[in-house]
Amino acid sequence: MLIYKILRADEWAALQTQGETSGAPIDVADGYVHFSTAAQVRETAAKHFADAPDLTLLALDSVALGDALKWEPSRGGQLFPHLYGRLRLADVLWSKPLPAGPDGHVFPEVLE
């Protein structure tokens, strides 16, 4: 199953340069990297990134992340994927721009 991570421009640039990251400030504070499923990622974008420009959407294979990935309850009791480890550029299957549109973020067709 694919899972998704939204990064701001500086976070994406750092991941590309360093090859790995502990995530965004919220990830570091919580002790794990937050991800969303395809069914959850639009709400995540609206809730946490509504006014953020220059976002990038990353896709990763949940199975490939192994035992470091835990599914834990969060918003509304839904199970969200949390990575207890560093997010590695080598684990990213693809990245796509996530531009803002008039009705929220414009997601790539692969999620449609």
Delimit the domains of the chain by residue range.
2-98
DSSP state of 16: H
In this prediction the pTM is 0.94
CA dist 26 and 93 (Å) reads 23
Give the domain 2-98 fold: ADP-ribosylation fold (3.20.170)
Contact between 72 and 79 under an 8 Å Cβ cutoff? The reply is: yes
Per-residue pLDDT of the chain (112 residues; tens, 9 = 90+): 999 999 999 999 999 999 999 999 999 999 999 999 999 999 999 999 998 989 999 999 999 999 999 999 988 889 999 999 999 999 999 999 999 888 889 999 887 5
Which residues are CB-contacts of 94 (< 8 A; sequence separation ≥ 6)?
58, 59
Q: Locate 16 and state its tokens.
A: 């590309």
